[in-house]
Structure 1
Amino acid sequence: MYFFEWGSWEAAIEPDADKKENARARRLRKKITPYENEQAEEQAAAKISASETPKSRGPVYAYNKQILEIRSGMFEEKRGLIGILSLTWISLIVTGTVGIMVAASWIVESITTEAAISSEHVFKITWLLLLTFPTAWLYFKFGLRFTRLEMFTSRHLLIRFNRTTQQVYLHRPPHCGGIVVLPWEGVASSGSANKYAIADGVGVPLALHWSARVTGTLHPELAWVGKSANHQGEIRDEWEFIRRFMDEGPEGLPRPRITSHFPWPWQAFTPQFEGVTHYFRNASKLIKVGLVLISPAFLIIGTGHWLSLLLCWKPRWPKIIRQAGMPGKPVPPLTTLADYPPHIQQRLRENAHLWAVRPGQRPEKKPRKVSRTRKAEPKPS
């Protein structure tokens, strides 16, 4: 499911007039907006070893002395939900359209043979028209944008690390931000230290972040890397594997298992259990019984996930990125604002203030003054 990436891109290019930000949202944005010193500390932490046991849990699609390519994206294991709903909606439209064609052929045949038109046929075609056209209009107006978050699009989101060019490449569909070239220098990671951990690493993948000052596109970039984790230790191991590959080379790193891009069924079903094995192992008996009872739901979502993979195509990098780092080949230029269409550039400029890093240090919180009402002294009797 590419919902998170799509939502992040939509937030970056949303017109300012459409933003309905209440006071609470403004306070939250002000709280999470980084200062220069915080950004410098986070980037410095990304250069320090975070684990003694580097390991990539994958899925890894390419690995050699020059490149490391891993699956990216958040909530991919949930993409079957949208797939099932989309296929149900599409089936209704197709069934209604076929029914209209059959009923229309009956009416045409009746007119040709000068036979009486059956009122039953007229009722059927009227009912199908009233059912099919509004359903199709609603789907193409509102539903199609969600269907393409996981169907009729790239089979996977990818992130490729190139240690020769010291660049990172994000492969995403155009409606989720498109292909982006980022510098390795300046990356921040949720696995570099516990203070940057997200949900203590439970149920989320490794997060890599580039601030607006690093990207050159006036907005930050966020990439989720690999499988959802069971604990922060797995996040640290994943990050340390990537950090050592980019900073020190593949020597001494355990060779990861290479995964095929072909949509095998187990690639759709096994992700349903990412990030829950540790929870299941330590859960109470009642919770374990409940998880077993709802296991058919995992099977249904996995089936929808597999159908989605079958209806998508293998992502392909541009030639300049495929050849990046090879002798005599050009180094891909970093993505800048000029790489986007004019209307997107304008949107990004208008929203640049939302992602701007604040200068200096975050001011210390002032202690709250608690005003206590003095109790009234008892009156003398």
Structure 2
Amino acid sequence: MYIGEYLFWFSSAIKTATRKKLKMGYFSGDMKLSEVAKDYTKESVSNNPRPIGPYYAYNDRYLEIRGGMFENFRGIITWISFAIFFIIASGGYFALKVALKLYNNEWDNYKIGSGIFAMVFFAIIFLVSTYLCIRYFRYICRLELFTLRHIRVRFNRVTRQVYVQRPKYCGGTAVFKWEHIMPANFGETGSDMGGTNLVNVFSFHPYKTGFPVAQSVGVGKNTYDPQDYKDEWEFIRRYMEDGPQNLPKPRLSTHLPMPFHGIEGHMSPMIHLVKNNPSVIIILMLIPVFLILLPFYTVGYFISECLCWQPRWPKVIRQAGKLGKPLPKETTLSDYPPDVQKAILDSSQEWGVIDDETGELIDYGQFKRPKKKASRKRKTKIAKQAEKPIKESSED
């Protein structure tokens, strides 16, 4: 469920030693100055603002919508986790059962050797699988189990801030200015994402926030229609800029686990597939998916919701916008442990800003790293330009 958020944060906060060990390079997140400097909160992109949701709160002070990417795949990791837990439980159960039989002399004398072998065998399975689960698999298990039930994103129109509630291993709760938000699925910062079955993604670039790396959050439901992205963004934009007046009131969803929550996320891809390929073969292929895999995913989704919890927002965020209450502090580098700060600073070189006219990287105070990167580019460019006239003159 939190695979997208985890991988994005992991790539931004990975330690230098771990990066070298995994042989991970740095990707180029360079963007044009005109893209990152623009205030996207002032431009209308749709004449049909719609609250697609799901929304958890909506009033004169704030609206709250579900966040998180790949929510429609929730349930797969749950079943994988249960399979791992079953191996651990089975190994421990049989090892203990054989040990009790040996202790109570319930084995025949000529079978004691085989009993000891069975006890040792199951004990090894139990210990090895337990170690692997604690050492490695717990990082995968927590993406769907024993964690936050949903990522929530709150837009407070009084404080003009955006609050993102995430697990700590995905960056934790973050506070951003409303003016710093950038739609990523359409417009100048993105492309037509129609047909990709993604949620609406918003980003906060370091050029605006001052945070060393960019942060992103997906909101709402997955969709194949690019217009849905624009309509939902327009609904949120008008709410923040003009208020809830003249806007359709969204239907509020519950935080509690419900058996039908997982159905829609898996039904939409099948409906989209049938609409685009209305053939008998496709329909016959979808019958076992509908009868077997859909209940499988749906039950896994429900179990995952039941084994998670939805915590309250911090008090300063709950009271934000009320008369006389303090303004929540924006997220800064100092909010993280020293080792994470160092890793984030090391990843800051990935987020360069390119001058539209010269095509060179701009040093916007991003901890001097982009400046070094730009100087190498400029040297290469100058060297190539210097060689070109020489070759032409030699040919002449």
* TM-score, shorter chain, exceeding 0.5: yes
Quote the Cα distance in structure 2 between the aligned partners of 1:34 and 1:189: 14
Which digits, 9 at most, give the CA deviation of each residue in 1:220-241, with x for residues without a partner?
A: 1111010001210111111111
Partner of 2:389: none
Which one of the candidate residues 227, 233, 237 is aligned to 2:231? 237
Q: Secondary structure at the match of 2:104?
A: helix
Quote the Cα distance in structure 1 between the aligned partners of 2:98 and 2:61: 62
Partner of 1:322: 318
In the alignment, residue 355 of structure 1 is paired with which amino acid?
W
Quote the Cα distance in structure 1 between the aligned partners of 2:264 and 2:35: 38
Deviation (angstroms), 1:91: 1.4
Is it true that 1:37 corresponds to 2:34 in the alignment? yes
Q: Secondary structure at the match of 2:57?
A: strand
Asked if the contact 1:197/1:232 (under 8 Å) is kept, the reply is no
Which one of the candidate residues 73, 78, 99 is aligned to 2:94? 99
Matches within 5 A, 1:136-151: 136-151=130-145
Change (3 A) 1:247 1:205: same
Deviation (angstroms), 1:349: 1.5
Which digits, 9 at most, give the CA deviation of each residue in 1:81-117, with x for residues without a partner?
A: 1100001110110121122222222222239x99887
Change (3 A) 1:134 1:45: same
Matches within 5 A, 1:1-381: 1-19=1-19, 29-30=27-28, 32-40=29-37, 43-110=38-105, 118-190=112-184, 193=187, 196-200=190-194, 202-274=196-268, 277-285=271-279, 286-295=281-290, 296-361=292-357, 363=359
In the alignment, residue 84 of structure 1 is paired with which amino acid?
W
Quote the Cα distance in structure 2 between the aligned partners of 1:331 and 1:195: 29
Asked if the contact 2:185/2:193 (under 8 Å) is kept, the reply is no
Deviation (angstroms), 1:309: 0.7
Quote the Cα distance in structure 1 between the aligned partners of 2:230 and 2:188: 9
Which digits, 9 at most, give the CA deviation of each residue in 1:128-164, with x for residues without a partner?
A: 0232222222222221100001100000011110000
With normalisation by structure 2, the TM-score equals: 0.84
Deviation (angstroms), 1:271: 2.0
Which digits, 9 at most, give the CA deviation of each residue in 1:321-343, with x for residues without a partner?
A: 01110111111010111111111
Q: Secondary structure at the match of 2:211?
A: coil
In the alignment, residue 55 of structure 1 is paired with which amino acid?
R
Partner of 1:372: none
Quote the Cα distance in structure 2 between the aligned partners of 1:228 and 1:203: 5
In the alignment, residue 345 of structure 2 is paired with which amino acid?
R
Change (3 A) 1:317 1:351: same
Deviation (angstroms), 1:293: 3.1
Quote the Cα distance in structure 2 between the aligned partners of 1:17 and 1:262: 41
Deviation (angstroms), 1:190: 3.2
Asked if the contact 2:201/2:217 (under 8 Å) is kept, the reply is yes
Change (3 A) 1:337 1:39: same
Deviation (angstroms), 1:38: 2.5
Asked if the contact 1:168/1:184 (under 8 Å) is kept, the reply is yes
Aligned length: 359
Q: Secondary structure at the match of 1:130?
A: helix
With normalisation by structure 1, the TM-score equals: 0.87
Q: Secondary structure at the match of 1:228?
A: strand
Quote the Cα distance in structure 2 between the aligned partners of 1:309 and 1:172: 15
Quote the Cα distance in structure 2 between the aligned partners of 1:126 and 1:144: 25
Deviation (angstroms), 1:206: 0.7
In the alignment, residue 16 of structure 2 is paired with which amino acid?
D
Asked if the contact 1:48/1:192 (under 8 Å) is kept, the reply is no
Q: Secondary structure at the match of 2:89?
A: helix
Deviation (angstroms), 1:265: 0.4
In the alignment, residue 339 of structure 1 is paired with which amino acid?
D
Asked if the contact 1:190/1:207 (under 8 Å) is kept, the reply is yes
Quote the Cα distance in structure 2 between the aligned partners of 1:21 and 1:203: 34
In the alignment, residue 303 of structure 2 is paired with which amino acid?
L
Deviation (angstroms), 1:119: 2.8
Deviation (angstroms), 1:195: 7.0
Quote the Cα distance in structure 1 between the aligned partners of 2:177 and 2:187: 21
Quote the Cα distance in structure 1 between the aligned partners of 2:24 and 2:94: 51
In the alignment, residue 136 of structure 1 is paired with which amino acid?
T
Deviation (angstroms), 1:198: 5.0
Quote the Cα distance in structure 2 between the aligned partners of 1:147 and 1:299: 21
In the alignment, residue 71 of structure 1 is paired with which amino acid?
R
Quote the Cα distance in structure 2 between the aligned partners of 1:77 and 1:186: 28
Q: Secondary structure at the match of 1:150?
A: coil
Deviation (angstroms), 1:315: 2.9
Q: Which runs of 5+ in 2 are unaligned?
A: 361-380, 382-396
Deviation (angstroms), 1:22: 12
Change (3 A) 1:14 1:201: same
